[in-house]
Every structure is written in C-alpha cells, then in structure tokens.
Structure 1
Amino acid sequence: VLFSGFGGTTATADVGDKPVNRATPDDVAIALGYADSAMIVPGYGLAVAQAQHVTRKLADELERRGVKVTYAIHPVAGRMPGHMNVLLAEADVPYDQLADLDQSNPMLPQTDVVLVIGANDVVNPSARDDAGSAIYGMPILEVDLAKTVIVVKRSLSPGFAGIDNPLFYNDNTMMLFADGKKAIESVLGALDDL
C-alpha cells in the first residue's frame, strides 16, 4: 500500500506560495521499500551532486527487496544529449534497466513510485497541458501519471527553461528538499531501518 504525502507536512513554497507535500528520508524509504515497481528519473541535479553511484546502490537495495527498478532516461536530461547515459554507465547501471522516453511513458501509469532526482523541465506537465507554456509540445516523461512521485531537489527553483513546474504541487507528489547525493544516502540509511 502506498501513500501520497503521508508523514509529510504541507510547506509553503517560494514559487507562487503554493503548498507542497514535504517528504522526509523515512517517507521516501517506506514508499520505495514497499513498492512493487520503481522508476528512477535522473536529471542535471544528479550530475551536479555526483549521485550516480549512490543511486545505483539504492536501486540494488530495492531490487534485493523485490522491487522492480527501471531508469527512465529523457534524451535531453542534463546539459547535453546522452548526459544521463554517461553518468549511469560510470556507475555500471545494467543497460537492461534503462528505458528511453518512448519505453518509459507507457509504464508510468502502472508504476508504484517514481523517484525524480534533480530533473525538472523534462518532467514538467506544462509541456503537455499548457498551450501557453514556453515548453509546450516538448516531449516529457509523464511521471505525474505514476501512483506516487518523489522529487529530490534542493529547492523549488525553476529548471533551465526558467518556468515553474506544477508537478511539484500535485497531491501524488512528495518533495524531498536536499542535495541529490545526501538525500539518496539518507534514504538508504532509512531503508536499513525498515
């Protein structure tokens, strides 16, 4: 059983004073540890934090617990095409766990938990839903369709496109505000206590 926003408190965000569901590492560990399936979406924040190795450790621990783990790779996540593929290859992530945009989107509505680590514009539903948005029409990973979304990000600041992301304010989204590497290390520690 997965919960959206459990244990978290509603916090006021810097951007537009909209409420968000704030998560703790324990909340994230519970959601991931009891999921049947998890999809990890790496972004530029993962690269900046050099979190690829600890993310691989988290995925390995989840798999050991019986969670099916997939990495959803957006072709322009990061600062250059293929950036995430290079980082995950450095961490020896098995190639068969990687799914591109076209493979990932059909899986998302059946995915229990999506863990977004430092990605922003490539998961912004405004690209799909808001004809007035600067990114309207850009293909995105439709993570908002998953049962539970956890976003690891240092703040609510906009991504490269400079626009707010409504994903952060969805009822099924929890925000874990921290550096990507530190956040994933904390989640790993919390998983040990489950």
Structure 2
Amino acid sequence: EGPPIYGMPVLNVDQAPEVIICNFDLKPGYAGVENPLYSREGVFMMLGDAKESLAEIMKQMETTTATATPAAAASTQAQKTAGSVLREAKRVIIVPGYGMALAQAQHQVRQLADKLTANGTDVRYAIHPVAGRMPGHMNVLLCEADVPYELLYEMDAINDDFAKADAVLVIGANDVMNPAARDAEGTPIYGMPVLNVDQAPEVIICNFDLKPGYAGVENPLYSREGVFMMLGDAKESLTEIMKQME
C-alpha cells in the first residue's frame, strides 16, 4: 500500500514456475517500486541490451540441442548455477562483509569452505580493513567458526590474486568491493582502496538485496556478466549453494 502501482492489475508472471527476464538493469521500473520477482527462485535475470540477451538465449538453446541428450536437455542440471561454478573451481576466494555479521552466517561459510576443500579446492579469505563495523570484525567472526587464521589474508596480500582465482564468493559485502570506488568521482567511496573482486571471471554474491551499500553508491558488479546474485538471508543462500553443489 502507498506506492503508485498499488491496486493496479498486473500480469501474473509470478505464477509461472520459471521466468526469464531480459532487462537492461536491476533498477525499479517507472513507478520506482522494487520488484520481488528479481530475487525469486526460478527466475533467470539476463541483464544488458535486450538484443544481446535474446541472441545469447538462442545460442544457449542451440548448444543444448546439439550437445545434450533429450533427457539432459530437459534437465536443470544443464544450467550453470552458483553451486556448479564453485564445484568446478580450483581456486576460490571468500569475501566476508557486514551482511555476514548481521545474518550470523559465519558457520555456514565455514561449512561451505570445508566442502570446497574436501573437493580439492584451494580456499582463502580476503579481509578488507574496514569490512564490518570495527577493525578486526571479520577476523573475530571467522575465528568463532574455527576458520584457520592462516587462511585469512589482508587486502594488500591477496588483491593481485583475484584475477587468478576461478571464482569469488561474497558474503554480505558491498562498498569494500565496489569497483565504482576507482572512477565515481564525488561519491563517498571515490579513491577508497577496494578488493579486486571484479577481476575474477565468476563471482557469487550473497547479499540481502540489491540496494547500494552503506555509502549509497550503486555497484556495477551486480549487472556484470559472470556474476550470480543470491538474494535474501545469507544462511539460506549458502545452504542453497551447498545443495546445488551436490
């Protein structure tokens, strides 16, 4: 109640089991009301130019038809997921942030890291000096979950390794890995050193929503190709990723 579209009849797209949305970005529509469909399970977001998105979909259809059996083509296993990306990765960097603290998801992070390690994956944690609400906040939380201290790397020690990683898993971080800090003059984060998450080929971001971080600066990573957005409670997102890995 209250927003401009309240009471307006709408198409019942949300009643379909699976939805593919080709939109330029994740911003609300003309009425300025956020769309909960964007974060619903079974929704595939194709961001960017609509022509390119449709061309990519048709290309995916041809690839599936040419290489898969009929049963496999019908299977959702043919779709790349956050879990399948991590399952195949050999080098993963985990970036914790204040959202991990709010969700108290450090134990699920450790469980996922253990699962990756058991799969032969090299797992490390990138700690930004101002992540959280006090110095050392992330270190304390990860220590609570018995994450080995030697796996925690300060920004300067790991920043050059993001480009060499197969995947990055972000848990409730935004400003500390927002590449806009490099060129968005006039914003609160301009000039702030950030983690080079955008240099990784594939990124999984577990954030509560798509809103900008504490500094109020939109993060271009959210609409970049190769980025998987897992919206909602971080614990639930991590549980879903582990399920996908199996």
Alpha-carbon distance between aligned partners in 2 of 1:158 and 1:49, rounded to the nearest angstrom: 18
Question: What is the TM-score when the length of structure 2 is the normalising length?
Answer: 0.69
Distance in 2 between the 1:82 and 1:180 partners? 20
Judge conservation of contact 1:114–1:143 (CA < 8 Å) in 2: yes
- Cα 1:67–1:80 shift into 2, 3 Å: same
- 2:57 match: none
Q: 1:13 aligns with which of 4, 22, 26?
A: 26
Q: Which residue of 1 aligns with 2:185?
A: 131
Q: Is the Cα contact below 8 Å between 2:26 and 2:223 reproduced in 1?
A: no
SS at match of 1:78: coil
Give 1:74's match in structure 2, choosing from 92, 110, 128. Answer: 128
Partner of 2:51: none
Distance in 1 of aligned mates of 2:222 and 2:187: 16
| CA-to-aligned-CA distance 1:80-122 (integer Å, 9 cap, x gap) | 1111011000001011111110012111100110011110000
Query: Max radius of gyration: which structure?
Result: 2
Give the 3-state SS of the residue equivalent to 1:137 in structure 2.
coil
1:86 aligned to which of 140, 143, 153: 140
Distance 1:59 1:134, change over 3 A: same
Q: TM-score when scaled to structure 1?
A: 0.86
Q: Which ranges in structure 2 are unaligned for 5 or more consecutive residues?
A: 1-19, 31-37, 47-75
| Distance change >3 Å, CA 104–CA 16, structure 1 → 2 | farther
Among 104, 107, 118, the residue aligned to 1:50: 104
User: How far is the alpha carbon of 1:176 from its aligned partner?
Assistant: 1.1
Q: Mind listing any 5+ residue stretches in structure 1 that lack a counterpart? A: 1-7
Q: 1:157 to 1:190 in 2, by over 3 A?
A: same
Residue 61 of structure 2 is matched in structure 1 by none
Give 1:118's aligned residue: 172
Superposition CA RMSD, Å: 2.4
Matches within 5 A, 1:1-194: 10=22, 13-14=26-27, 22=45, 27-192=81-246
Identity percentage of aligned residues: 48
Q: Which residue of 1 aligns with 2:66?
A: none
1:162 to partner: Cα distance: 1.3
